[in-house]
Amino acid sequence: MGHINDTLRALWTTLRTAFRPTSTVQFPAVVRPRGERYRVSFALPDDENGEMACIGCLTCERICPSQVIKVKPGVKRESPVTGKKRAYTDDFVIDLSACIQCELCVQVCNNDAIVMVREAEQPMFEREDLVLGFARLRKNATDRTRSWGHGTMLQESQEPAKVEKKAPAVKAAPAVAAEPRQPAPRSPSRAAEPPEDGARARAREGARARRGGTDVSATLAFGVVAACALLSAVFVVRAVDLIRAVLWLGITLIATAALYAMLGASFLAGVQLLLYVGGVMTLMVFGVMITRRHEGIAPTATDTVRPVRGAVVAASLFGLVAAAIVNTDGLDDAPARALAPLTLADLGRSILVEHVLAFEALSLLLLAAIIGAVVIARRRDPGPLDEPTEASR
């Protein structure tokens, strides 16, 4: 009975104090007073004419150190109030979850189009509650209290004091007879320059030779790596032992990665090394070692025909590629121009948006290759380890 009495007494204590008011003062019963300079959120107010003050100049977006402001400028159109054409903003987004409250966006705004307010946002369950859109920023301008400063006031307070400088007294100069104006001397042409001395001429010729030598060495290095890739690919198809064929394939893939690096495609070179050399090669080595295959391929009567067929197919593909290159006009006369740097985001967008059909076709081809590999791996070659079946008995 003692345990039951203790339990009932504890329940009575809990029920008696469940609805008692808290002993401490907490929010939102009492709101802590905030100072005049307190600022925590943003708003987009109107100008003196009652129109949106933001004109989409992108100054706040450029100055933001956290890059949390995204502005979409609109087209210029006639104002319904003043009748003059002015710029507008179609969208304005601020991500408060990454904002550092530096107020630089407010300070650089010349139109006082963005201000900070003293009431904080109250996110409930999602991070998106801290992403202030255009409508919410406009609503904050009317529902919340602005903080102390705005753009033009902060700019004026930070400007140095202007000191008026007195102009020095100018003494009257004695009159001088004007001289006739002579034409300016022309710059001497290159042909009129004195001939260079021997040391300078030799230095210039040496610089030209070094530049030419660098181009020649790069071309030779590219040719050596391409030859290694080609020869190792030939050894892959000519090797009798599967392990040796896989090792030659690894050399081919490494040489291909080196070619990518020489052509400036560092990302493709890294993917080639990580995915093909690191992953596919390891998978092939384990597959050859685990599957029950013979160490070598016995020569058959058709071995003399297969190389000829392979050579014909390779020559045909090479001829098609060479004909496409030769018949393309403008390759030799096209001026060399520097392309914009390609980021990984641009590469992913190009693959999954512009070339999505080719990407899906390669996916289907890879799926077919996987299914074919599974079918081939499930076949069992007759050998001494196979158990006799009922038909053979």
Q: What is the pLDDT of residues 97-142, one digit of tens each?
A: 889 988 899 989 988 899 999 888 877 778 888 899 999 999 988 8
Per-residue burial over 212-227, b if 16 or more Cβ lie within 10 Å, else e, is: eeeeeeeeeeeeebee
Q: Which residue has the higher pLDDT, 21 or 361?
A: 361
Residue 8 has pLDDT above 60, yes or no: yes
Q: How far apart are CA 293 and CA 376, in angstroms?
A: 11
- Final residue of a domain: which of 142, 158, 174? 158
Task: Clarify whether residues 53 and 128 are in a common domain.
Answer: yes
pLDDT at 252: 93
Q: Is residue 83 part of a domain?
A: yes
Residues 6+ apart with CB under 8 A from 292: 380, 381, 383, 385
Residue 205 has pLDDT above 70, yes or no: no
Residues 6+ apart with CB under 8 A from 338: none
Q: How far apart are CA 288 and CA 242, in angstroms?
A: 7
Task: Clarify whether residues 280 and 365 are in a common domain.
Answer: no
Q: What is the CATH number of the domain that holds 277?
A: 1.20.120.1200
Task: Clarify whether residues 58 and 137 are in a common domain.
Answer: yes
Residue 178 has pLDDT above 80, yes or no: no
Return the structure tokens found at 66.
């956290």
pLDDT at 344: 76
Task: Clarify whether residues 140 and 48 are in a common domain.
Answer: yes
Question: 384 falls in which pLDDT band (50, 70, 90)?
Answer: low
Structural contact between residues 196 and 202, judged by C-beta atoms closer than 8 angstroms: no
Q: Is residue 57 part of a domain?
A: yes
Task: Clarify whether residues 133 and 239 are in a common domain.
Answer: no
Q: Is residue 260 part of a domain?
A: yes
Question: 309 falls in which pLDDT band (50, 70, 90)?
Answer: confident
Task: Clarify whether residues 136 and 228 are in a common domain.
Answer: no
Q: Is residue 257 part of a domain?
A: yes
Residue 185 has pLDDT above 60, yes or no: no
Residue 311 has pLDDT above 90, yes or no: no
Q: How far apart are CA 234 and CA 277, in angstroms?
A: 18
Number of compact structural domains in the chain = 3
pLDDT tens for each residue of 223-267: 999 999 999 998 988 888 888 888 899 999 999 999 999 988 888
pLDDT at 192: 45
Q: Is residue 59 part of a domain?
A: yes
Q: Is residue 365 part of a domain?
A: yes
User: What residues make up the domain containing 62?
Assistant: 41-158
pLDDT at 193: 46
Q: Which residue has the higher pLDDT, 230 or 386?
A: 230
Q: Is residue 333 part of a domain?
A: no
Q: What is the CATH number of the domain that holds 125?
A: 3.30.70.3270
Q: Where are the alpha helices (DSSP H) in the chain?
A: 2-17, 59-63, 104-108, 134-143, 151-158, 198-238, 242-262, 266-271, 281-290, 306-326, 344-349, 356-378
pLDDT at 284: 79
The residue-averaged pLDDT of 196-211 equals 57
Task: Clarify whether residues 265 and 365 are in a common domain.
Answer: no
Q: Which residue has the higher pLDDT, 171 or 139?
A: 139
pLDDT at 206: 59
Task: Clarify whether residues 140 and 227 are in a common domain.
Answer: no
Residue 365 has pLDDT above 70, yes or no: yes
Residue 364 has pLDDT above 70, yes or no: yes
Residues 6+ apart with CB under 8 A from 111: 47, 53, 54, 55, 151
Rounded to the nearest angstrom, the gap between the alpha carbon of residue 239 and the centroid of all alpha carbons in its chain is: 42
Q: How far apart are CA 275 and CA 285, in angstroms?
A: 14
Q: Please report which helix (H) or strand (E) contains residue 77, including its range.
A: strand 77-78
pLDDT at 237: 83
Task: Clarify whether residues 49 and 153 are in a common domain.
Answer: yes
Q: Which residue has the higher pLDDT, 292 or 5?
A: 5
Residue 174 has pLDDT above 90, yes or no: no
Task: Clarify whether residues 224 and 290 are in a common domain.
Answer: yes
Instruction: List the one residue out of 12, 17, 78, 81 whose CA is nearest residue 49.
Output: 81
Residue 333 has pLDDT above 60, yes or no: no
**One-letter-per-residue 3-state SS of 357-373:** HHHHHHHHHHHHHHHHH
Task: Clarify whether residues 147 and 233 are in a common domain.
Answer: no
Q: How far apart are CA 121 and CA 140, in angstroms?
A: 10
pLDDT at 255: 93
pLDDT at 81: 84
- Final residue of a domain: which of 262, 280, 296? 296
Radius of gyration of the chain (CA): 39
pLDDT at 43: 92
The residue-averaged pLDDT of 134-158 equals 82
Q: Is residue 328 part of a domain?
A: no
Residue 168 has pLDDT above 80, yes or no: no
pLDDT at 391: 47
Task: Clarify whether residues 151 and 50 are in a common domain.
Answer: yes
Mean of pLDDT over the chain: 77
